Amino acid sequence: MIELPVVSKETEERKRKPNWLRVKLPIGPEYAKVRKLVDENKLHTICESGNCPNMGECWGAGTATFMILGNVCTRSCSFCAVATGRPPEYDQEEPKRVAEAIKTMGVKHAVITSVNRDELKDRGAEIWYQTVVQTKALSPTTTIETLIPDVKGNWEALERMIEGGQEVVSHNMETVQDLYRRVRPQAKYDRSLEELHRIKEFGKRSKSGAMLGLGETDEQIFKLMDDLAEVKLDILTLGQYLQPTKMHHEVIDYVHPDKFEFFKEEGLKRGIKYVESGPLVRSSYHAERHVHV
Ligand code: SF4
């Protein structure tokens, strides 16, 4: 049982949602088109499963982040809204449906992610490979970013996941090392760093993301940036953690936009080529900007 922090009255006060977290409502013709496409093709998106605040803006711009290998995860990260449990059989036809949807959307840049399938020997690597290859076949000019899970040290599976021709491969650290037990209990900090190192070794543009507001200190964030610079990370995203439900990890702090700007400078100073940092930033937010870093 993950022990989540008990929040004091004083923090309650500090926790009123500030106005810089106001978001665009998911409405409009483009939004409706994406909605229809996702429903008709029985597709999953992290936009919905993850309660992403930018759904209105992204779908309104005709783009979405598809989630493959189903919408049930074998893990229970305390910040994540995705359902946890024993996933059903995965669908061999899913790569084709995702590739067709991306073709229909006609997006310049497509982002694909997945739940963790720790119960699968190949961690879902073959479905990943097929999804990228079939998307490239139908949309040769569309660049692809794959936000891949923790392969639990199965480096053969990692290679299969990233050899399909995608331009950017991201794997999120999510938080600082000292909060792993409470925020990402089934993951290991050093193992995720190793995964990013191998992505880079494989010649891919590497990307990672973390949330702020879970109780981390500035020093802990600097250490995370130093460790990511060490594995020659290209792109870092930093965004505000938002609590999906009362059952999930509390928001300890709403970090001011100026502080995000400060961390952006600190990341660039440490040699990370591109830092996207702001309260509403998420891994795939404005991801099309990260392709040619
Ligand atoms: S592994 Fe990913 S999808 Fe699964 S609970 Fe953690 S963050 Fe959510």
* Type of residue at 271: G
Give the model confidence (pLDDT) of 198-232 as tens digits.
999 999 999 999 999 999 999 999 999 999 999 99
Which residues, 6 or more positions from 182, have their beta carbon under 8 angstroms from its beta carbon? 2, 3, 4, 5, 78, 249
Sheet with 65-68, side-by-side order of all strands:
44-45, 65-68, 109-114, 143-147, 168-170, 205-212, 235-240, 274-277
Q: For a substitution probing ligand 1, which of 67, 69, 75, 186 has the most ligand atoms within 8 Å of its CB?
A: 75
Of 261, 244, 243, 262, give the one whose Cα is nearest residue 252: 243
Please answer whether residues 238 and 212 qualify as being in contact, where contact means their C-beta atoms are separated by less than 8 angstroms: yes
Residue range 81-96: mean pLDDT, rounded: 93
Residue range 12-22: mean pLDDT, rounded: 74
pLDDT confidence of residue 26: 66
CATH fold label, 6-290: TIM Barrel (3.20.20)
Residue range 96-109: mean pLDDT, rounded: 91
Domain spans of the chain, in order of start: 6-290
Pocket of ligand 1 from Cβ distances under 6 Å: 73, 75-77, 80, 82, 115-116, 149
pLDDT confidence of residue 119: 95
pLDDT confidence of residue 147: 98
How far is the centre of ligand 1, averaged over its atoms, from the C-alpha of 49 (Å)? 10
Q: Whose CA is nearest to atom 3 of ligand 1?
A: 115
pTM for this predicted structure: 0.92
Three-class SS of residue 280?
Answer: coil
